[in-house]
Structure 1
Amino acid sequence: MFENQTFEEIMERMLDRVSADIDKRENSVIWNALAPAAAELAVSYIWLDQVLNLVYADTAEGEYLDRRAAEAGLERYQASKAIWSGEFTEGVFIPAGTRFFLEDLYFTMQENGKLECETAGTSGNANLTGQTLLPLDTIPGLEKAVMGNLEIPGRDEESDESLYERYLVRVRREAVSANQLHYKQWAEEVEGVGKAKIFPLWNGEGTVKIVITNAKMEPASQVLIERVKQYIDPEPGKGEGMAPIGAYATVESAVWKDIQISAKIIPATGRTIADAKQEIEEKITLLFKEIAFKESVIRLSQINNMIYESSSVSDYSEVAINGEVKNLQLTETEIPKLGQVTIIEQD
């Protein structure tokens, strides 16, 4: 809006107001007297442009977007802590508050027998299953302390993009009166939930099925499923949670769909089949995470493009998904999971 309010433009207007019989050339007395003020005004206009951007939700960032969202009753999701199960010597009591150490992370035993990572965010989601936990306290009889499964993944602080999307849903009143978007919003508010899909009237009048993923876009654990159930409908039909009276909510996890990829390639100069396979696997894994619970089709063209764009591949042919040269349709509750990748050198 103020992009034209430059130092030169301001100086020209100021000098125009000076009598013509006074020397107004650059480095004259009057020019030098006005220049500092013009420079400061130009900086002020730059700041005014920034202020306007921070006032409106579509261009606001950080704390300014937080303040805008707060007007609509929204708060940014804070980073949450990962929850793990553990395996310990049978019959040994591990009191709540006992601390363990593993992979530069500290974990605290909770009242429910689960281990909570003391560091919030996705760092607590590392691949720790089966590794030995080191207790920081002496526990009589403890001979076995092994990390179990990741029950609820930790998540990082919500991004500006995600908060803005929720802000639009709220101000446009898209999620109201227990409609589908409202159930989706409730489910995704629960710490550890990634995405949710809603299936109304799935088992008759008043029934709603909620299918969720965890924050890593993987199938949810039973612990997370129960947490969502307690938040939305702890006493079926009684309106004790977020769901209204008369609504019967069922919460289930999404399920994996194994995807096999095969192709023939010619490796790029100086690269091997193993290099190409590793690069292709990494690209497709990222693709599957991006489209999980958003798209219900694995497109052959997407796989072709990823192989084509791989730096370790010179040429390719005969790309197939689960043995077929066509798109693969997923059900509404399936998450794609990359299985075997077969890469053969092209003749």
Structure 2
Amino acid sequence: MTSKVVVAGIGMIPFKKPGQSDTYPVMGAQAVRLALADAHVGYESVQQAFASYIFGDSTAGQRVLYDVGMTGIPVINVHNNCASGSSALYLARQAIASGEAEVVLAFGFEQMNPGALGDMYTDRPAPLELFQKACASVVPEGVAPALRLFGAAGQEHMKRFGTPLESFAKIRAKASRHAANNPFAVFRKVVSTEDVMADQVMWPGVMTRLMACPPTCGAAAVVLCSEDYAKKHGLDARVWIAGQALATDGPETFNSGDMRHLAGFGMSRAAARRVYEQAGIGAEDVNVVELHDCFAQNELLTYEALGLCPEGGAQKFIDDGDNTYGGRYVVNPSGGLLSKGHPIGATGLAQCYELVSQLRGTADQRQVEGARVALQHNVGIGGAAVVTMYRI
């Protein structure tokens, strides 16, 4: 990373259950205004904008911004499955790092329906058809599409390393304890490992309902700028992006026979390695992490993909408490997707909101003491994995 890109402003609204939120233009505009106010930047100073969402017609990003201002700037809509929010952030950072712009907005929103995700267009090949075929032999009938992929990946880890189902339940219980201190989380009730294990079975021996994140509605936004612009205009330049990488699937996804790669393990690991190389520091230097826990199974896999623990070492990592306060890292202090919910287009930017708050020391009861290096992981099947490192 040759020049510093600063996170000047962040904005987020509380996530809500489907049917209980405002419409996407209202939610999106609220988050954008909050980020601009936090940055102390007027919308007229923004030179480019990248909008993230997946459930909506084309140019929904413009529809949101027309309620904020109409300055004629380029607005690019980003649709990269569950990694859409971080993909928008990635493009915004690139625009500044390249010298194309000095102030760029990345924002995401989603107005979702209840229930499991499914294909929107049934008259053409589905983008995930290769993934579904690859795991079909190990998945029982009636399992929802996303659960198939992440359940199969978790089952692979269980078979390879003897990981018990209880490890995933411990992750969910940890998420609930963290979310109890997050006013933006939808689900703030603390649950125990035993509660998770006793919940409705979605896939016998592989997953209970509490191990899956729910769909929610919400929005988040981030204002990025160059370090020079921040200094010139007296903006808060403490938090900056020290490394960032976006990876897609490699040949191991379908060639290895390893179900973990269908859930993004390989591309997440590749992106993390590039980020550590860019930043010149490794996982051992990270203090706080927001990672993509759409399922408790994926959180466990991602510990290893990011190098937070050795491959096969996640069970010990969890049992030792190295994923929470008092341990080696604090993972998902926000409560993660498992507790906040997953308004897909907003998720990656909400992760950024949490980590910047942690580095600024403004995370209230969730504050990780002495946090100076933060790592973000956002993955979308089909596929995209974005890993971002922030420093102060």
TM tier relative to shorter chain: under 0.3
The structure in which a higher percent of residues are strand is 1
Q: Which has the larger radius of gyration?
A: 1
Kindly indicate whether structure 1 or structure 2 has the higher relative contact order, using CA contacts under 8 Å at least 6 residues apart.
Answer: 2
The structure in which a higher percent of residues are helix is 2
In the superposition, the TM-score normalised over structure 2's length comes to: 0.24
